[in-house]
A and B are shown apart, each in its own frame.
Chain A
Amino acid sequence: MANKRVATELKKPFRLKGEGMFIFLCLLPALLFVAVFTYYPLLRGVVMSFQNYTLFDLLNIHFIGLDNFAGVVTSPDFPRVAMNSFFWVVCSLFFQLLFGLVLALLMRRRFRGRGLYQAFVFFPWAMSGFLIGLIWRWMFNAQFGVINDLLLKTGIIDAPIPFLADGKWAMAAVIMANIWYGVAFFAIMILAALQSIPEELYEAAAMDGAGRFQQLWSVTLPYILPTMLVTILLRVIWILNFPDIIYSMTSGGPAGSTHIFATFMIEKVIFGQDYGQASAIGVIIVLILLLFTVFYVKATRVEKGGDF
């Protein structure tokens, strides 16, 4: 008897181990895939950032310590690139969130043709950012752009504004395009969260005499907050790494005034052919995002959310 019990005692963890092994083996292909396609390039990038690695002279690749980082940080463009990246993320995110929330609230109630309308709202999200950049670039064009044309026809301006020829305008223009592109994603996420709020809560709130605004403030917003927090985190990561729109609209110009880290990195690769410095910029982006994520998660305690 006792022997038997001992045996089962022994067997138990053993069997679990087998099970664990089985699960591990099932996951192995996926783990390998991620390792090969995500971690290997990431490590390569990190290694490259410490190397002299230019296409001009591939036979002369050697470690140069922190020279690439020093080169990037001390370059005259760096402060502006950092500032631009900050504005790019903050302005884009704020308005995307605001408009996304409004859109989601509008699309919540059933109305005729809602499905079609939703499809239209979400459409930008399915398009390539590069293409969107090209479209906006033509729209902002001073000679044949529709935006100037409309402003002229309505009499708001009396001479076309060369949006993409002036640093301040150009930054506003790329942020505008990015807001248009990103609103849909927030709308999708928030709409999903809205649709999971039980109707009873509103009934109860109405019973207690809460008005429309009170209901929004005390029921809707607290309920979708976790979703918003996670979405904001994801969007910060994506927006900071999203060069497509800027690259196809202005290539970082005029005179470098619309460069963010991501476009600055592309320029280093395409024109400068300097993979070492480009990787250094990449590593800087990762560090910024890591720091941000750690603080953000600590500040918002996202683990309370988890509405996914």
Chain B
Amino acid sequence: MKVSKWLSAVLSLVLSGGLIAGCSQPASNPPASSSGGTGQAGQTITLKMVESITSPQRTELLKEMLAKFEAKNPGIKVDLISPPFEGADQKITQMLMAKEALDVLEVREFNAKQFSMNGFIENLKPYTDKWKNYDQLTDIAKRRATWVDNTPYYIPNGLYQRVLFYRTDWLKEAGLEVPKTWEELLVAAKKLTDPAKNRFGYSFRGGPTGWDYALITIWAYNGTQVDPASAFFLKDGRTVFSTPESLEALTFYKQLYKEASPADSVSWGFQEMVQGFVSGSTAFLIQDPDVIDGAKEKMKEGTWATAPLPIGPSGVAQQVVGGPGWGMTAYSQHKEEAWKLIEFLSDPEQSTTYAKRTSVIPVVKSAAEDEFYKTGYFKPFIDMNAQGQTYIDVSRPVDYKGWGAWQSAADKDIQSYLLDKISAEDLLKQWDQYWTKEKAERK
């Protein structure tokens, strides 16, 4: 009797504790999986590789490419891990923290610094020095590869940059030209807005990572005084949020939301803004090349087209060109083989095929000569990259300690401003103080 009482007491304690504990588990490290490595006779080496920007089509394509690689290198097998896109980077970070078996990984520009600082990823310089195709990379791709400490930590697999998508038929109907500047865009968007018909000028992004869109407007107004290497600051060292131009930009930004966008776009994320455009309720959309495929599928040929990003009153438009790519873990047991794989994936032929099939902008110089990119929907991307003076490639200060905290608060701040809860002056003052302090505290 006593025993069962004692046992039930312990058990109930354990289980009730478990019940309450079931809530607040911070991301705990999953137990390390068995390490992949040599196993079978014949010394087959198994590489583990993980992707981050997962989509079913892309995983399919990567598997095809890996099959080719395995055929070329009979001694190497590759296991591809494809975590769902939402939260893939957290998953990868956790794998690295737990030192799980992993050889090749997809690094994003915003976590490259963090990974290299924590000693998770390998410096690829010894390999790129001997690599014949390194100079095949375009300038932008090279800048992405080496943007942490001027050292190549990964080889980009494609570029993500934005263009303006617009409805050719609506513009024609209203007798409007394709807008070249933000002001022209606002005028056109206002003219095309008709709530009664459920038509709006602009697919506004107010939801998750909407700060990104506020920034391209702020930069375009501040023009060339912005420091491209760390675009929250000006060349004279002050923050970009301290200028009268930024106040002008934010005022404009609110106009764009209030006068030419749907009211609930203050909470729109990627899905909604794209849906708004392809379903025929918005006239303009600023988005990545991967939207092209969806638009082709859902919209009639000839009703839409792409154009370069609108420029600001300063005559320039800054863009952040995202360039994720393949890197290697610092603790990999098979570095030579891992490099072989990265080299194969980054080969100009493979790389261009990959770019075409996943709708990203190619990273190799030879692609610009390709008919596919000289015409049609992809042309504006190549054009923009050819005019580096007007479309300036800038970097965000993701290498600052305060970046994460700022990012998590920024959407809230902008939404508060758009919903008239704080003034533009207060918002800018807040950000100006924050980044001035960040800069002062930086080691």
Residues of A participating in the B interface, judged by any CB pair closer than 8 Å: 16, 19-20, 23-24, 27, 31, 34-35, 38-42, 44-45, 48, 54-59, 77, 141-144, 159-160, 162-167, 170, 234, 237, 240-241, 250-256, 262, 265, 267-275, 278-279, 281-283, 285-286, 289-290, 293
Q: Tell me whether B28 is interfacial, beta carbon within 8 Å.
A: yes
Query: Do A250 and B195 touch across chains, with their CB atoms under 8 A apart?
Result: no
29 A-B residue pairings within 8 Å (CB atoms): A23-B3, A24-B7, A34-B15, A44-B28, A48-B26, A56-B403, A58-B97, A59-B119, A77-B412, A141-B264, A143-B200, A144-B279, A144-B281, A160-B264, A162-B262, A170-B267, A237-B20, A251-B269, A251-B411, A253-B411, A254-B267, A255-B415, A265-B26, A270-B408, A274-B404, A282-B25, A285-B23, A286-B24, A289-B23
A250–B412 Cα distance when bound, in Å, is 11
Other-chain residue from A42, A143, A271, A285 in contact with B281 (beta carbon distance below 8 A): A143
Other-chain residue from A166, A254, A278, A286 in contact with B206 (beta carbon distance below 8 A): A254
Other-chain residue from A16, A38, A39, A278 in contact with B3 (beta carbon distance below 8 A): A16
Q: Given A57-B401, A58-B97, are A293 and B415 neighbors across the interface (CB < 8 Å)?
A: no
Q: What 5 A-B pairs have minimum CB-CB distances, sorted nearest first?
A: A282-B24, A162-B264, A271-B408, A41-B28, A241-B23
* Minimal beta-carbon separation of A293 from chain B (angstroms): 7
Residues of B participating in the A interface, judged by any CB pair closer than 8 Å: 2-4, 6-7, 10-11, 14-15, 17-28, 87, 90, 93, 97, 114, 117-119, 195, 198, 200, 206-208, 262-267, 269, 272, 275-276, 279, 281, 401, 403-405, 407-408, 411-413, 415-416, 419, 421
A282–B6 Cα distance when bound, in Å, is 31
* B412 surroundings in chain A (CB, below 8 A): 77, 252-253, 255-256
For the residues of B in contact with A, the DSSP-based class is: helix
Query: Do A38 and B17 touch across chains, with their CB atoms under 8 A apart?
Result: yes
Query: Do B264 and A165 touch across chains, with their CB atoms under 8 A apart?
Result: yes
* A-B contacts at CB below 8 angstroms, number: 171
Q: Given A54-B404, A255-B416, A274-B405, are A283 and B90 neighbors across the interface (CB < 8 Å)?
A: no
A20–B5 Cα distance when bound, in Å, is 11
* Minimal beta-carbon separation of B323 from chain A (angstroms): 21
* Minimal beta-carbon separation of B108 from chain A (angstroms): 13
* B275 surroundings in chain A (CB, below 8 A): 144
For the residues of A in contact with B, the DSSP-based class is: helix
* Minimal beta-carbon separation of A250 from chain B (angstroms): 6
* A16 surroundings in chain B (CB, below 8 A): 2-3
User: Which partner residue on chain B sits nearest A240 by CB separation?
Assistant: B23
Q: Given A268-B408, A271-B408, A290-B20, are A254 and B26 neighbors across the interface (CB < 8 Å)?
A: no
* B266 surroundings in chain A (CB, below 8 A): 162, 165, 254
Query: Do B267 and A286 touch across chains, with their CB atoms under 8 A apart?
Result: no
* B21 surroundings in chain A (CB, below 8 A): 38-39, 41-42, 286
Query: Do A58 and B407 touch across chains, with their CB atoms under 8 A apart?
Result: no
Which among B265, B412, B415 has the highest number of chain A CB atoms within 10 Å? Answer: B412
Other-chain residue from A40, A143, A269, A290 in contact with B276 (beta carbon distance below 8 A): A143
* A27 surroundings in chain B (CB, below 8 A): 7, 11
User: Which partner residue on chain A sits nearest B400 by CB separation?
Assistant: A56
Query: Do B23 and A278 touch across chains, with their CB atoms under 8 A apart?
Result: no
Which among B27, B114, B419 has the highest number of chain A CB atoms within 10 Å? Answer: B27
A48–B269 Cα distance when bound, in Å, is 32
* Minimal beta-carbon separation of A39 from chain B (angstroms): 7
- Add 16 more A-B contacts to A57-B118, A254-B267 (CB < 8 A): A20-B3, A41-B28, A42-B24, A45-B25, A55-B404, A160-B264, A165-B267, A251-B411, A269-B26, A271-B408, A272-B407, A275-B26, A281-B24, A282-B24, A286-B24, A289-B20
